[in-house]
Amino acid sequence: MKKNLLGLLLSVALVCAVLSGCGDGSAAQTSEDRVAANAIVVGIAQDLDDSLDPHKTVKAGTREVMFNVFEGLMKPTPNGDLTPAVAESYTVSEDHRTYTFSLREGVKFHNGEPVTAEDVVSSIQRCAAATETGIVQVEAFSVMEDIRATDERTVSITISEPSNEFLSYLTTAILPAGYDQQDTAPVGTGPFRFVSRTAQDSIVLERFDDYWGMPAQLKQVTFKIIENADSLMMSLQSGAIDLCGHLTSTQTAQLGDDFDVAEGTMNLVQALYLNNAEAPFDDVRVRQALSYAVDRQAIIDLAFDGYGSPIGSSMYPAFGKYFDESLTDYYACDAERSKRLLAEAGYPDGFEMTITVPSNYKPHMDTAEVLVQQLAAVGVRATIAPIEWESWVSDVYTNRQFQSTVVGVDASNMTARALLERFTSTYGKNFINYNNADYDRLFREVLATYDDEKQTALYKEMEKNLTENAANVYLQDLADLVAVRKGLTGVTFYPIYVLDLSGIRYTA
C-alpha cells in the first residue's frame, strides 16, 4: 500500500515536471518573444469565413482585418477625410464631371508587380459592372459614364452628374488585373501583405517592405480567432494575445495590470429597428410612444457601465459635420407622454411585441433586456426572440419578416449616404420598410446638389425627418474598448469599422 502511494506520488511529480517544464518545442511563444520578433497577436471573435477578395467581402469583420492589405486610389484617414493612396494626386474638371488621377510612382502589388493604369481601370470596372457572381456592386458607380487609362500613369473618370461624394467610393481596392486567386490568396497594395489563413484558427499578415508610403512598424501580425468569450479572456490573461478590440466593460475590468484599455467608438447606429410596414408600427404615434418610453442613458449605464454615446437619428458622432447633436434629446424619456400617445393610437393598455435579436451579439442582447423593462413601464409587453445571425440575415434583413429588432447598422464608407440612403422607399436594403415621400425627395435633392454645405444641410434634414417620424427607436453608438498590452502603442480609431495596424508599435 505504501509502495503504491509512493509510486503514485512519484509519477504525479514526473508528469508535473514534464508539463511545467519549458524544455518543450520552440513554437511556444511568450509576449517577450514577440517583442523580440517585433510581432503581435490580435484576438478576434469572428473568423474570416468569407471571400478574401475585397470586392466580394460582405462581412464587416473581414473588412476590418483586410483594411491593412488593400488600398484604393484614395484611402480614408482617422479624422474622416480622404487622402490619395494609389493615386498621387487628382484634378477635377470645371464642370465637376471628370476626375483625372495621376498614379503614384513606385506603387507595387504584394506579388512585386507595379500597379498600372489598366489595373486601376479593371478594378473599378469590376465593381461597377458586377457581372461576376459575388461581386458587391458599388451603386454609386452607376453614374460613371466613362473610365479610361489616358496613358500609363493617368486614369480619367467621367460621371454623368456632379457629385462630391464620388471620391469616397474610390477607396475601392485596386487589384492586379487578371489575378484570379483573390478569394483565398489576396494581393493588394497595402502596408501589410497576406500570408496565410487557417480556418477557425488564424490569419497571418506580414509587413510589406516595398510599400510606397511609411512602412508599417510591426513585422508580423497574427489574428487569432477565438469565438468563445471566456476563452478569449483567458487567452489575454495567459499572454497569448496582445491586442483585442470590441470588449465589454465587464471584460476589460478583469484584465489586470498587463493591459491598457483604449476607448473608441464602434461606429454603429444601434437602435430598436421597427418594421414600419407592420401594425402597430405603421402608426407614427406608436413609434413615437416607444421613443418616449426609452431612456437611452439608463441603457448605457445599466448594460454598458456608462460607456457609449446616445444618438437620436441614423448618424453617429464620429461623422463630425453630418452629426446633429440636437436630435439626440428629441425624445427625452417621458412615460406619461408615451402612454398618452399610445392611448391616442388606440392602445390604452399597450400591446405585445417581439424583439428579434441576433443572439451572438451580447451587447444587443443586453440592450434588448433593458428595453423590455423600460417598455413594460408604459404597458408594452415585449418579448425577446433570440435568433442566429444567419437566420437574422435571411428572415429579418432580406425577407423583412419581423416586428422589431435590436442591431447596429454601420457605414461601408465615410459618406452620410452610406447611412441614410438605406431608408429611401425604393432602396433594396430598406429592411424597416420606411416609406416617407419627404425623405425620398430630400435624398433626390442631395444627389442633385454639388455644393457641400447645402448637401450637408439636406442630409441633416433627412436625419431630422427620421427622428421626427420616429422611424426607429435610436439608442446609441456603442463604445469600442480595446485591450492593448503594456508596451504597445499606436492604436488609432477611424469613423468606420477598421483596425489600422500600420501605426502600432512597441515603445521599448
Partner 1 sequence: MKYACRRVAMLAVTMVIVSLLAFVAFDLISGDPATAMLGTEATPEKVAALQKELGLDRPLLVRYGAWLLGFFTGDLGVSYSYHQSVWDLIAPKVAVTLCLSLLSFLLIAAVSIPLGLRSAVRSGGVLDGARTVLNQLCMAVPPLFTGILLSWLFSTTLRWFIHGQFPALSADFWGAMKYLLFAAVAIAIPRIAMTVRMLRSTVRQELQKDYVRTAISRGNDRSAVLRRHVLKNALVPVVTFLAQTMAEIVAGSIVVEQVFAIPGLGRMLVASISSRDYPTVQAIVVILAFWVVLAGAVADLVNQRIDPRLRLGGRS
Q: Does 381 bind partner 1 (CB under 8 A)?
A: no
Q: Which is nearer to partner 1, 97 or 197 (CB)?
A: 197
Mask 162-201, x = binds partner 1 (CB under 8 A)?
A: ---------------------xx------------xxxxx
Interface residue with partner 1, options 63, 97, 126, 224 (CB under 8 A): 224
SS3 187: coil
- Residue 108 CB-density burial (10 A; 0-12 exposed, 13-18 middle, 19+ buried): middle
* End-to-end CA, the chain: 57
Q: Does 30 bind partner 1 (CB under 8 A)?
A: yes
Q: Which is nearer to partner 1, 51 or 267 (CB)?
A: 51
Query: DSSP letter at 393?
Result: I
- Select from 14-22, 138-146, 156-164, 167-175 the region that touches partner 1 (CB under 8 A): 14-22
- Joined together, the cell numbers standing for residue 327 give 436630435
Q: Does 465 bind partner 1 (CB under 8 A)?
A: no
Work out how close the CB of 239 gets to partner 1 at its nearest, in angstroms, rounded to a whole number.
6
Dihedral (CA of 218, 221, 227, 229) sign: negative
Q: Does 454 bind partner 1 (CB under 8 A)?
A: no
Helix axis angle, 437-448 to 452-468, nearest 10°:
170
Interface residue with partner 1, options 59, 96, 285, 464 (CB under 8 A): 59
Q: Does 5 bind partner 1 (CB under 8 A)?
A: no
Interface residue with partner 1, options 26, 94, 453, 507 (CB under 8 A): 26
Q: Which is nearer to partner 1, 186 or 191 (CB)?
A: 186
Q: Does 25 bind partner 1 (CB under 8 A)?
A: yes
Q: Could you give the CA distance from residue 353 to residue 346 in angstroms, rounded to a whole number?
A: 15
Q: Does 377 bind partner 1 (CB under 8 A)?
A: no
Q: Does 33 bind partner 1 (CB under 8 A)?
A: no
Q: Does 408 bind partner 1 (CB under 8 A)?
A: no
Interface residue with partner 1, options 2, 5, 28, 507 (CB under 8 A): 28
Q: Does 43 bind partner 1 (CB under 8 A)?
A: yes
Interface residue with partner 1, options 38, 79, 228, 425 (CB under 8 A): 228
CB 72 within 8 A of CB 55: no
- Residue 427 CB-density burial (10 A; 0-12 exposed, 13-18 middle, 19+ buried): middle
Residue 412: what residue type? S
Residue with cell 476607448: 263
Work out how close the CB of 98 gets to partner 1 at its nearest, in angstroms, rounded to a whole number.
30
Work out how close the CB of 476 gets to partner 1 at its nearest, in angstroms, rounded to a whole number.
20
CB 154 within 8 A of CB 103: yes
CB 402 within 8 A of CB 260: no
Interface residue with partner 1, options 102, 125, 237, 433 (CB under 8 A): 237
Q: Could you give the CA distance from residue 140 to residue 167 in angstroms, rounded to a whole number?
A: 10
Q: Does 226 bind partner 1 (CB under 8 A)?
A: yes
Cα 116 versus chain centre, distance:
30
Work out how close the CB of 228 gets to partner 1 at its nearest, in angstroms, rounded to a whole number.
4
Q: Could you give the CA distance from residue 501 to residue 489 in angstroms, rounded to a whole number?
A: 10
Q: Does 13 bind partner 1 (CB under 8 A)?
A: no
Number of residues located near partner 1, criterion CB under 8 A? 55
Q: H/E element holding 310? A: strand 309-310
Q: Which is nearer to partner 1, 86 or 232 (CB)?
A: 232
Q: Does 391 bind partner 1 (CB under 8 A)?
A: yes
Q: Which is nearer to partner 1, 91 or 184 (CB)?
A: 184
Interface residue with partner 1, options 105, 178, 325, 428 (CB under 8 A): 428
- Nearest Cα to Cα of residue 369 among 265, 272, 245, 285: 272
Q: Which is nearer to partner 1, 237 or 309 (CB)?
A: 237
Q: Does 438 bind partner 1 (CB under 8 A)?
A: no
Dihedral (CA of 179, 185, 82, 209) sign: negative
- Joined together, the cell numbers standing for residue 145 give 459614364
> Which residues in 81-140 contact partner 1 (CB under 8 A)?
133-134, 136
- Nearest Cα to Cα of residue 126 among 113, 112, 144: 144
Buried b (16+ CB within 10 A) or exposed e, 76-91: beeeeebebbbbbebe
Q: Does 450 bind partner 1 (CB under 8 A)?
A: no
- Select from 24-32, 362-370, 448-456, 484-492 the region that touches partner 1 (CB under 8 A): 24-32
Dihedral (CA of 188, 193, 194, 195) sign: positive
- In 64-167, the DSSP E strands lie at 74-76, 82-84, 87-92, 98-103, 144-151, 154-159
Work out how close the CB of 439 gets to partner 1 at its nearest, in angstroms, rounded to a whole number.
21
Query: Where do contacts with partner 1 occur on this chain (CB under 8 A)?
Result: 18-20, 24-30, 43, 47, 49-52, 58-59, 133-134, 136, 183-184, 197-202, 224, 226-228, 230-232, 234-241, 388-391, 393-395, 397-398, 428-429
